[in-house]
């Protein structure tokens, strides 16, 4: 991200979509297809303590703030484990939060401990760089997609189907329908979309499918190759 910022110090991107590490790999277990499985996803998802986690969040939030155009917006994914820290940091940096979108999962993993409510949602914070900036929001398009009614801030969308994992799997992959809605709502054709934690490339696929341009970063070489395969399959030439 810093190399991109060096190239475009005044901001370049019309929209940023961020699905950061949630730091939930704590050696626990969850249920998947009726079987108990580890929640560990990799060292990149292990918490280093709240102070270190906050420092990491603040670093990329500040870089994203600098990379955004003055009238641009950002989407940040999270759960109750990290979204409150992120929301606090966003407001201290200068972001103006527009919505907290609740992504409701129709068939979430069951709660094995039976000591609290089943986790069935994730949160997306949608924010703009400057409070007084006139940001992009396609209200009429969203209303049309919601059968002529105002689109609400609770979105019921299923997890990624098998077809979206044909080139490989990522443990925190978001459904294409979720990211597509964000892009259609908050950007225009030919806009430049950025994803600093590209993962399996879902943001890039969504951007290309809807006539937007895309730039992404990914440290893990395995996931980078996975993302590149998906992007190539949705683009006339390799990226």
User: pLDDT by residue (tens digit) across 178-224?
Assistant: 999 999 999 999 999 999 999 999 999 999 999 999 999 999 999 99
What is the Cα–Cα distance from 194 to 77, expressed in whole angstroms?
A: 14
Query: Averaged over 95-120, what is the pLDDT?
Result: 93
Domains in the chain, please, with CATH?
Answer: 2-233 (3.40.50.150)
Residue 206's nearest CA partner among 187, 225, 226 is: 187
pLDDT digits (tens, 9 = 90+) for 65-98: 999 999 999 999 999 999 999 999 999 999 999 9
Q: CB count, 10 Å around CB of 3?
A: 7
Query: Residue 236 above 50 pLDDT?
Result: no
CA neighbours within 13 Å on the CB side: how many for 188? 6
- Which ranges in the chain belong to alpha helices (H)? 2-7, 50-67, 83-93, 139-145, 176-186, 202-209, 221-233
> Measured on CA atoms in the order 224, 205, 43, 100, is the torsion positive or negative?
positive
Give the pLDDT of residue 118: 92
Give the pLDDT of residue 119: 92
- Phi, psi (degrees; rounded to nearest 5) at 194: -125, 140
Give the pLDDT of residue 30: 55
Give buried/exposed letters for 55-80 (b at 16+ CB in 10 A, else e): eebbebbebbbbbbbeebbbbbbbee
pLDDT digits (tens, 9 = 90+) for 21-53: 988 865 455 555 555 555 556 676 667 888 999
What is the Cα–Cα distance from 34 to 109, expressed in whole angstroms?
A: 9
Numbers of helices and strands, H then E, in the chain: 7, 9
Angle at 202 between CA 85 and CA 95, to 5 degrees: 30
């Amino acid at each position: 991200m810093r190399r991109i910022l060096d190239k475009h110090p005044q901001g370049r991107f019309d929209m940023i979509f961020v699905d950061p590490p949630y730091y939930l790999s704590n050696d626990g277990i969850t249920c998947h297809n009726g079987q108990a499985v580890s929640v560990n996803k990799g060292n990149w998802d292990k918490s280093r303590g709240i102070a270190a986690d906050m420092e990491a969040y603040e670093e990329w939030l500040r870089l994203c703030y600098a990379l955004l155009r003055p009238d641009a917006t950002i989407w940040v994914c999270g759960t109750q484990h990290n979204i409150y820290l992120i929301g606090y940091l966003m407001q201290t940096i200068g972001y103006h939060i527009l919505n907290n979108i609740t992504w409701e999962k129709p068939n979430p993993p069951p709660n094995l401990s039976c000591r609290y409510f089943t986790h069935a949602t994730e949160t997306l914070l949608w924010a703009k760089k400057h409070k007084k900036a006139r940001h992009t929001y396609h209200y009429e398009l969203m209303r049309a997609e919601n059968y002529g009614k105002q689109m609400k801030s609770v979105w019921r969308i299923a997890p990624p189907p098998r077809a979206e994992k044909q080139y490989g799997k990522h443990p925190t992959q978001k459904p294409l329908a979720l990211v597509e809605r964000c892009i259609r709502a908050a950007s225009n054709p030919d806009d430049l979309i950025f994803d600093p934690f590209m993962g399996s490339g879902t943001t890039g696929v969504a951007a290309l499918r809807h006539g937007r341009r895309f730039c992404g970063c990914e440290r893990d070489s395995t996931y980078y190759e996975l993302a590149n395969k998906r992007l190539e399959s949705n683009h006339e030439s390799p990226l």
